[in-house]
Structure 1
Amino acid sequence: MNAYVLTALGRIKWAFNTIGAYPVFLSAFIGGVYGALTTKEISWVILTCMMFFALVERFYRQQKAHIEKRSQGERKQSFIKSAFISNLGHQLIILDEFKYNGVLFKVIAFYEIPIAQTIAGPLCPRCHHRLTERLRIRFFVLTDITLHCCCGFSYASKHTIIELVKEVETHKNLI
């Protein structure tokens, strides 16, 4: 490689590190459009197309990482789950059963202490089994979060399972 190419690559690397990928791709895209309109050369059109697809790919990957981060939030392990796992002989009772955001939740407590301890859910409103989520990104920012059950029930939600559980825990003062 000649010195000019190495200098240009060094400056591009510096620009990526300093201001990020979006401004670099966007300025190259705008420069490609300007060059294509003024000089009518195919190389400018190719640069414009490459930068457009680089912008789209970068934005798609960012949205995918964001939705995966939302779905992998951590939920604290509650005392009731610890007691149930350790099999201390406590009996559980359901204090309340309610629908929130189209799915079913149950408030659970100990039989000996009938005060709300934790929630179970989200559950299927038809068969009361636990729901799973499917994340999909369509086009740019259109994210689909679908909650599925083994009985065939599916529900399009704006929130992930972790976000639903945290909202219900906050609403029922279980945090």
Structure 2
Amino acid sequence: MQSEQERKPYTDELGKLCEDSSYSAQAYFEAAKSAEFWDKIIVFVPSLVAAVAALLVAVGEPRAWAALGAVSGAVAATASFVGTGKRAASYKETGRRFTKLRHDAALELSLVLKRSGDSELERKVRSLRKEYAEIVSSSDLVSNRLFKRAAKRVKAGVLSSD
């Protein structure tokens, strides 16, 4: 059995993987919340404009309001038909994948000294790192603004179980 010092490169990498996954997961959950908000807005605001325009025409205002109402209604209908929740669902799924990876890396980190040899440990670390890379390469990117918001939340302890 090897000492902690001999396993330090592996524990460092697993720790970094936990941290990277934590920040990435939180960024994607922030992106999902933001996408859900904007998805609702893109349907609600044009619908509201269409309703107000229709009401104005009904009470005798100029017919130009009807044109605005028609365009707003078309925007709301199109957004609703296209399905505005797809991006939010994709972000949530990516956040969940990063969360699972974080838990897997944390488990391996807790078991690192119980592993029988470096080759087994190295294989596991490489496998987890590859999984991280696959998630990154197959996911839509989140904005820097949302990543910074996520970083603040992680630093504030949003992921701690205490």
TM-score (norm. length: structure 2): 0.31
Larger strand proportion of the pair: 1
Structure with the higher fraction of residues in helix conformation? 2
Structure index of larger Rg: 1
- In the superposition, the TM-score normalised over structure 1's length comes to 0.30
